[in-house]
Structure 1
Amino acid sequence: MKKKLIATILAMVCAVSLVGCGGATESGNATKGTETAATDKSSGTATEITISFGHDNNPGDPVEEAAEYWADRLEEVSGGTMKINVYPSGQLGSKSDLLDQILAGDTVAAIGNGPFLADLGAPDLGILNAPYLFSSWEELDTLVASDWYQEQMDILEQKGIKVLASNWRYGVRQTLTVKPVEHVSDLKGMKIRTQSTTVHVKGFECLGATPTPMALSDVYTALQQKTIDGLENPLSVLYSGAYYEVAKNLTLDAHIRDLSCICVSTDVFNSLTEEQQQWLIETCEEAGEYQNELAAKADEECLQKMKDNGVTVYEVDEDEFKQAAESFYEDPEIQSMWSEGLVDKVKGIISEE
């Protein structure tokens, strides 16, 4: 009887020890703020990982469709070991919120463009959204392929942000307003929603407007309540957000060709196996090409749909707006942000196209 009691006690002690060890291993593999298991790089064995991809765009927008395409392709090529959960319409927070999560090491992906990435440690990247600097997408492609651009990517990586792809053409940014804008002077004093970056704010200040940064998800209500007088974005975004319902004047000023970068945490990326890293990058670039096809088609369709919904479209004198934007490059705050001679350097690179 005594021997049986001792054996029972020993069995119970072993069972408790095994449960305790198992729990410690599981919690040790958890990644902060994520739904994923970690990758065992020492053994080269990849465990399942799930990335949350948040963005501001609405269902039906090319960005949302491309995000879902990326999720499908990554799951396919990884044999189901890598997954992306897509959260549109700002469900995970604003672009700034998401980039902060990336810097904190969370397993999320986000869209970052030049000005946002500039504010996070690579200031010269702000030039990507300088008004009227690029006249074609090919010029931006040339810049992305340059040694200068790779240097900027290296800086970001050291800051904690890994750019997976820089080929998502977000679109040509146009301006939608409650009152007609046919000339630069019409923008004077108008509250225009912009991104919350220095480059975007200064870009509209130089045109005489009053930039009003806010999350894209708040814009429709702000237009209804007359808190703002308009917004700027690519045509597909202006249409998918139904902003044309409360702002009936579209100005085709084409002030920015907005190239997006898809970003993740450097730490998260480095925790993956080389094979996982390759899958992540290749499928992201593939999704970017898909997004570009959708965006080009959507521009034509959305312009016609907005016209059909009573929007008046104004084609402006680009030289007039471009001349007004010259003051942007002379702004002391902009000049202090960028390295000396940056504008001339970038112009030199894109002229080699």
Structure 2
Amino acid sequence: MKKILCVSMLLGTLLVGGCGGEKKEVVNEKNDVIVLQFGHDNNPGDPVQEAALYWAKILDERSNGTMKLEVFPSGQLGSKSDLIDQMLAGDAIAAIGNGPFYADRGVPDLGIMQAPYLFENWEQLDKLVASDWWKEQMTQLESKGMKIIGENWRYGVRHTITTKPVKSVKDLKGMKIRTQNSTIHVKGFEVLGATPTPMALSEVYTSLQQGTIEGLENPLSVIYSGKYQEVAKNLMLDGHIRDLSSIVVGTSFFNSLTKEQQELLISTCREAGDYQNKLAEQADIDCLEKLKKEGVKVTEIDFDEFNEKAKPFYQYKEITETWSKGLLERIKEIIK
């Protein structure tokens, strides 16, 4: 009989033979059914969720049912930080990671991937991922207990939707904008004059209703699927970040798999990433039109004005002192 590996969220430990069974070490024998849980904050209908379901389908098919992906949208498994804590504890968990989170988890140079207004197109980020610099960062990340299995998930271009109109960078002064709970994102909005307010995406709708925050930043597909346009009617197309995200698992879980299982997990994850990118590109076009039809006022900002205002970000000692010497210059040389 095939054994089933699954995750107990309460115990934070892999169990064999059912989620309520006796605790045992992680063992992957040839006949084991591997169950990996993938949690994310995006809502049903969003490109990330659709790609996750596609990933689950092809992983099941190509493994002949020996590898399963269970998908949990809308923050059902907890925050991104919670998920990373669980995978570091050895759980069979996959999550969406990005540079700022990896920076806060001990690989500081990766934070530059979401520095404001640094990348002008996706091709520049593709160059970065293909570079020796990226390989160096991956080695460091694995030493911290995290293994990226898909580095090609283009989460989207991040824009800002607010309850009050923002026509220039001056209008952002003091506005409470929800950001990811990472130093890079917080400082990125602080330098623009806003008051960054980190919180889980699942809390944002109610917080906008109650006036706890006055806006959030995210790709258009995330904004639309979260229905934030119902409580915030002003969209600023500031494009402050091109969010190239990645799918990450714990190295202990990854190393417990056979070589064939590892290769299958990576190949299907990357294929799902390509699928997600196509969906996200079309969603940006569709969601912008839908937002307009639902009464959202769209503002095209002065890119040069915002870019100039963001420059002091690169003098924040809290960030730059953690970076390798000459990091910014090295990145610019790679992507030029």
**TM-score (ref. length: structure 1):** 0.89
Matches within 5 A, 1:218-229: 218-229=203-214
The list of structure 1 runs, each at least 4 consecutive aligned residues, that deviate by more than 6 angstroms after superposition, is none
Counterpart Cα distance in 2 of 1:334 and 1:278: 35
Contact 1:165–1:284 (8 Å) recurs in 2: yes
Of the structure 1 ranges 147-156 and 214-223, higher mean CA displacement relative to structure 2 is found in 147-156
Q: Deviations over 1:19-68 (max 9, x none)?
A: xxxxxxx89x8875346665446xxx251110010000000000000000
Matches within 5 A, 1:285-300: 285-300=270-285
Mark the structure with the bigger radius of gyration: 1
1:195 aligns with 2:170: no
Q: What percentage of aligned pairs have identical amino acids?
A: 64
Q: In the TM superposition, what is the alpha-carbon distance from 1:121 to its structure 2 partner?
A: 1.4
Show the counterpart of 1:93: 78
Contact 1:193–1:231 (8 Å) recurs in 2: yes
Matches within 5 A, 1:177-192: 177-192=162-177
| Aligned-partner residue type, residue 88 of structure 1 | P
1:175 aligns with 2:160: yes
Counterpart Cα distance in 2 of 1:280 and 1:286: 10
Counterpart Cα distance in 2 of 1:188 and 1:296: 31
Show the counterpart of 2:288: 303
The structure 1 residue matched to 2:252, chosen from 260, 267, 278, is: 267
SS in 2 for 1:63: helix
1:33 aligns with 2:18: no
| Aligned-partner residue type, residue 52 of structure 1 | Q
Show the counterpart of 1:211: 196
Counterparts in 2 of 1:39 and 1:314: CA distance versus 1, 3 Å: same
Counterpart Cα distance in 1 of 2:41 and 2:28: 33
SS in 2 for 1:325: helix
Counterparts in 2 of 1:271 and 1:46: CA distance versus 1, 3 Å: farther
Q: Deviations over 1:149-199 (max 9, x none)?
A: 011111111111010011000000000000011100000000000001000
1:106 aligns with 2:91: yes
Counterpart Cα distance in 2 of 1:88 and 1:110: 11
Q: In the TM superposition, what is the alpha-carbon distance from 1:70 to its structure 2 partner?
A: 0.4
| Aligned-partner residue type, residue 176 of structure 1 | I
Gaps of 5+ in 2: 18-25
Counterpart Cα distance in 1 of 2:13 and 2:295: 45
Total equivalences in the alignment: 323
Gaps of 5+ in 1: 1-25
Tell me the C-alpha RMSD between the 2 structures.
Answer: 1.6
Q: In the TM superposition, what is the alpha-carbon distance from 1:103 to its structure 2 partner?
A: 1.0
1:64 aligns with 2:49: yes
